[in-house]
Structure 1
Amino acid sequence: MGLLLFFVILALPILILFFLRKHRHKPPGPLGLPFIGNLLQLTSSPAPHIYLWKLSQKYGPLMRLQLGLRPTLVFSSAKMAKAILQTHDLDFCSRPRFLGQHKLSYNALDLAFSPYNSYWREIRKICIVHLFNRNRVLLYHPIREDEISHMIEKISKSSDDLKPINLSQLLMYVTSTITCRIAFSKRYDDEGNERSRFCGLLNETQAMLGSFFVSDFLPFMSWVDRLSGLLDRLEKNFKDFDRFYQELINEHLDPNRSKPKQEDIIDVLLQIRKDRAFQVDLTFDHIKAVLMTKSITLCNFFPFMQNMFVGGTDTSAVMVIWAMTFLLKNPRSMKKVQEEVRNLIGNNGFVNADDIQGLPYLKAVIKETFRLQPAAPLLLSRETIRKCDIGGHEIPAKTLVIVNAWAIGRDPEARENPKEFYPARFIGSSIDYKGLDFELIPFGAGRRGCPGLHMGIATVELALANLLYKFDWEMPVGMNKDDLDFDVIPGVVMHKKNALCLVARKINI
């Protein structure tokens, strides 16, 4: 008995050290329910990015969750973001497979959802060299200027009676039209069957990308997705959009088609297919997948969703809306940015793309908006390729990774007064949103950073500058700036829950 007690006393410290070491290698996180883990708490939250931020206040900037059978990490500080998006970028640069996005991206043939491999590197090269380079952005400036000019005219006509304008709705129309013209040279009229069809397809795609597929987290219960009708609905949405894309490709292949002034993205991709200049032999499915990427990529998804139209149309409009909301809440900033724009442009009548570089405070307003309210607060989910070590914690391969860009923007270690809207913090600062400064990453960073950010930014800058140049903006009668809210609609992109309706007063310049 005494010998047994001796061995127990001898072994006890070793056992304690073993369990402490095992626990130390797991990042902290909230307890979950059997089988489903933390899935219910997260999916029931109307604003997952805020819910995760609050959890990080308790468990730290590196937090562990269990979403069904998927081990998950959430990163919520600039320091942690740098660790995974720069130091360990290669370990964290793949994508998880989610049913909706996998199906709608033609089994991950696109840039956004393809896992990290030689195919992804080749398709990325095609997109960067031919679709998202600086010359391509400059080439499409006339389209942006034309559509934004139409928007300003429309506001001017309706401003005479000082009735509120639904700015959210108007900006969504403008940005979707810009995207259609850039992608396939179409400018759908305000009304008509083709626009209704297009908008219906987009709405259904957003719904599918925002839907919760049980099989993504609990594969043994995949029958639920069939029983609920989601799989049939997803298949129909895919076939309808596939038919839509094929009709557009057929139009572009027609030798009698009248060519637009600027070649569109379908023209570019068809020429690449014809030239066979890359290791990937582009098929029509590849082209459709890249087009779909322009639909979904910039979309915020959590964590089940997200390629050029859904995201391309939404995010630019959403960021202008959030910028206007912040400016209305902060009249001093509004006055300062309007004075800057009007002093530079004078009575020229329109802010064009070349003027933007002379508007540092406007650019600071946009950066501050990205910091406080990124369109995609949780970016695109990543997945670890192999086992690695972060801050003394062992991270297994195939771990789902969520980067909370919304929380990072509010990181008190990265900036003073992080909750205050203060654009001047970026004046004279080298901090930018291009993925090199980890305290501001609305487009991600590292290998999987968004290559098309310049396309979207060009629209945001031009639209916002002209809205501020031409009009003074007021709340509708009976309302004031305190009535402005920052509530969001959960889904693909973080839209304002309540549309931004304002009164525009045309000014004499």
Structure 2
Amino acid sequence: MVFTFQVLILYSLPLAFVLYFLKSYISSSKSLKNLPPSPPKLPLIGNLHQLGSSPYRALQSMARTYGPVMLIRLGTVPVLVASSSDAAREILKTHDSIFANRPCLKIPSRIFYASKDIAFAQYGEYWRQAKNIAVLHLLSNKRVHSYGFVREEEVALLIEKIQKANESVVNLSELVISVTNNVLCRVALGRRYDGRQFKSLLDRTMELLGSFSVGSYIPSLGWVDRLSGLERKVQEVSKEFDEFLEGVIQEHVNKKNVDVECQDLVDILLKIQRDNLMGFPLEKDMIKAIILDLFGAGTDTTSTSLEWAIAELLQHPQAMKELQQEALIMGEGASIITEDKLEKMPYLKAVLKETLRLHAPGPLLIPHESTQDVKLLGYDIPSGTQVFINAAAIGRDPSKWEASEDFRPERFLNNPIDYKGFHFELIPFGAGRRGCPGIQFGMIINELVLANLVYKFDFVLMGEESSDMTEANGIAVHKKYPILVSALPRY
């Protein structure tokens, strides 16, 4: 999340001291006997002012003082911050059902049709059915592998595009975003769409999802979102995406005699709607929300992880050399490395695990919310508490990882730790009931693209900013500056 407080502070501080001693504020902070440690907070805005431009890093720093289980207050909302693998295990495994809900947040609710998607939906029967659709019909192993030809075709086109640059400067960041977008458009929607226009729409959507809504945390100041223009921007993007998705669905409805083998994800959702496979009507808004969910998770986080992997390899020539050697053996002189070879590339998988450890695409994951009072590591957590799990801090925890700030892919060779939600030292995609159902879909794209880039080319960084590892904050943490390279053919 990106937190901008100038407008908030300007309008809220005069009210803060009037409201400070209100009985409801005082009593809410002392409702249970043994609450987790808390940093000092200001009236009304709580700890919002402490989060700055990089909330996950600010919370990581605060956890060093107040511990891995910490209670802060964002406006009027109590928020539990978990910064250790033990705390994450308690939340996502031991008490998974209690913390499986999502808080009602204004921006996701507006964009995802009153949170009718999978990621932000309230915990309950609708969410269970929607996730079953994703797991059984959209993102099953069989379905993911059936789109292998799409991924391989798009990777071949990516390589061709770089080759045509003839060693001139190419924007590698832009290219990896393009290839992930193209794969997802073809898999989900059946064809590519106007690259620049679609990318602009998706970028604006992800930017808004990473924005801070005052009204979500201080309801009495919800008017600030209108004054700042945030509500207008959300409405505009929602309307634009809705019109786009409406056209996509109508285009699919008008298709005739769709071959089962050629079905895209919209085709599958429309079939589920026709056959009433959910047990209740699958409304058009639900289909739109689920498709939009797949794009949000499938493009932004996938391309972000891939970009960071490339950036780290360019900073660590020995690791790049090791991966290139593995790719050369697997490629055997073929035009591209195909998906069936990826399982035999342990160093490739180690590079991507290490990238996810250091650069969790969504560092605070999606917030959880407790649905009842619960005891957590000796602390009393009240019902209705929001939960941030600092996956980025957990991935860099020096008590769990040797040389925790260093990029060392070899730490994952002959190491069972994985990112699929069973090892709480590494949870870039969450875990438990609300873990990401599309892990395999996203990671196979990353593996295929990265394997082929290092197989086909040697890269020379162009310009100082290309090697700058500064982060740009949002719902996913991107590299601030694009990777500009000259790509030299390897053979």
The TM-score normalised by the length of structure 1 is 0.87
Q: Distance in 2 between matches of 1:255 and 1:311?
A: 27
Whether contact under 8 Å (1:311, 1:493) holds in the other structure is no
User: Does the Cα contact within 8 Å between 1:139 and 1:262 map onto a contact in 2?
Assistant: no
* Shift, 1:200, TM fit: 3.3
Match of 2:162 in 1: 155
1:456-475 map, 5 Å: 456-475=442-461
Distance (Å, rounded) in 2 between the aligned partners of 1:62 and 1:484: 35
1:453-479: per-residue Cα shift (whole Å, max 9, x none)? 111001000000000100111222x75
420, 436, 449: which one aligns with 1:450: 436
3-state DSSP of counterpart to 1:280: coil
Distance 2:411 2:199 in 1: 39
Report the 3-state secondary structure (helix = DSSP H, G, I; strand = E; otherwise coil) of the residue aligned with 2:453: helix
Q: Residue 235 of structure 2 aligns with which residue?
A: 235
Structure 1 unmatched ranges of 5 or more: 1-20, 189-193, 295-308
Amino acid at match of 1:382: H
Question: Are 1:25 and 2:34 an aligned pair?
Answer: yes
Question: Is the CA contact 2:169–2:485 (under 8 Å) kept in the aligned structure 1?
Answer: yes
| Equivalences for residues 51-66 of structure 1 within 5 A | 51-66=58-73
**Larger Rg: 1 or 2?**
1
Equivalent-residue separation in structure 1 for 2:301 and 2:290 (angstroms):
18
Residue of 135, 138, 146 corresponding to 1:131: 138
1:212-251 map, 5 Å: 212-251=212-251
> Among 70, 73, 89, which residue is 2:96 paired with?
89
CA displacement, residues 414-449 of structure 1 (integer Å, 9 cap, x when unaligned): 222211211111111111111000001111000000
Cα offset for 1:254?
A: 0.7
CA shift, 1:24, in A, is 6.8
Q: Closer, same or farther in 2 for the Cα pair 1:368/1:254, shift >3 Å? A: same
Q: Given that residues 84 and 394 in structure 2 are in contact (C-alpha distance below 8 angstroms), is that contact kept between their aligned partners in structure 1? A: yes
Q: In the alignment, does 2:432 pair up with 1:425?
A: no
Shift of 1:198: 2.2
| Partner SS for 1:492 | coil
Q: 7, 26, 46: which one pairs with 1:37?
A: 46
Deviation at 1:367, TM superposition (A): 0.5
Taking structure 1 as reference, are residues 261 and 90 closer, same or farther at Cα in structure 2, changes over 3 Å only? closer
Q: CA deviation at 1:311?
A: 3.1
1:323 aligned to which of 309, 312, 326: 309
User: Given the alignment of the two structures, is residue 505 of structure 1 paired with residue 491 of structure 2, yes or no?
Assistant: no
Corresponding residue number in structure 2 for 1:210: 210
The correspondence of residues 390-429 of structure 1 with structure 2, limited to 5 A, is 390-429=376-415
Report what 1:112 is aligned to. 119
Q: Distance in 1 between matches of 2:190 and 2:365?
A: 29
1:50 matched to 2:36? The reply is: no
**Does the 8 Å CA contact 1:73/1:399 hold for their aligned counterparts?**
yes
- Secondary structure class of the residue paired with 1:110: coil
Out of 171, 182, 196, which is 2:187 matched to? 182
Give 1:100 deviation, angstroms: 0.7
**Which residue does 2:273 correspond to in 1?**
273
Partner of 2:370: 384
**Does the CA contact (< 8 Å) of 1:123 and 1:280 recur in 2?**
no
Equivalent-residue separation in structure 1 for 2:481 and 2:464 (angstroms): 14
Would you say the 8 A contact 1:132–1:452 is kept in 2? yes
Contact 2:324–2:454 (Cα < 8 Å) also in 1: yes
Offset at residue 236 of structure 1 (A): 2.5
Q: 1:505 to 1:197 in 2, by over 3 A?
A: closer
- Measure, in 1, the Cα distance between the counterparts of 2:448 and 2:440: 12
Decide whether the 8 Å contact of 1:56 with 1:63 is kept in 2.
yes
Distance apart, 1:312 and its partner CA: 1.6
Contact persistence 1:46–1:489 (CA under 8 A):
no
C-alpha distance in structure 1 between counterparts of 2:153 and 2:74, whole Å? 46
C-alpha change, 1:38 and 1:260, in structure 2 (3 Å) is same
- Aligned residue for 1:406, secondary structure, equals helix
Are residue 292 (structure 1) and residue 269 (structure 2) matched? no
Deviation at 1:49, TM superposition (A): 1.4
Deviation of the 1:28 alpha carbon: 1.1
Please say if 1:164 is aligned against 2:174: no
Q: Percent same amino acid among aligned pairs?
A: 41
Residues 1:359 and 2:333 are matched in the alignment: no
**SS at the partner of 1:239?**
helix
Size of the aligned set, in residue pairs, is 462
C-alpha distance in 2 between matches for 1:260 and 1:487: 46
Relative to 1, partners in 2 of residues 1:394 and 1:174: Cα closer, same or farther, differing over 3 Å?
same
Contact 1:122–1:280 under 8 Å retained in 2:
no
RMSD over equivalenced CA pairs, Å = 1.9
Structure 2 letter corresponding to 1:490: N
Q: What secondary structure is seen at the aligned counterpart in 2 of 1:97? A: coil
TM-score (norm 2): 0.90
Residues 82-91 or 209-218, more deviating: 209-218
Post-superposition shift, 1:138? 0.3
Corresponding residue to 1:333 among 295, 314, 319: 319
Q: For residue 370 of structure 1, what is the aligned residue in structure 2?
A: 356
Distance 1:215 1:22 in 2: 24
Q: Using a 3 Å threshold, how does the CA distance of structure 1 residues 229 and 416 change in structure 2: closer, same or farther?
A: closer
8 Å Cα contact 1:119-1:280 kept in structure 2: no
Amino acid at match of 1:220: S
Secondary structure of residue in 2 paired with 1:474:
strand
TM-superposition CA deviations, 1:200-225 (whole Å, max 9, x none)? 32233223222322110110112222
Checking the alignment, whether the CA contact within 8 Å between 2:32 and 2:380 is kept in structure 1 is no
Change (3 A) 1:338 1:197: closer
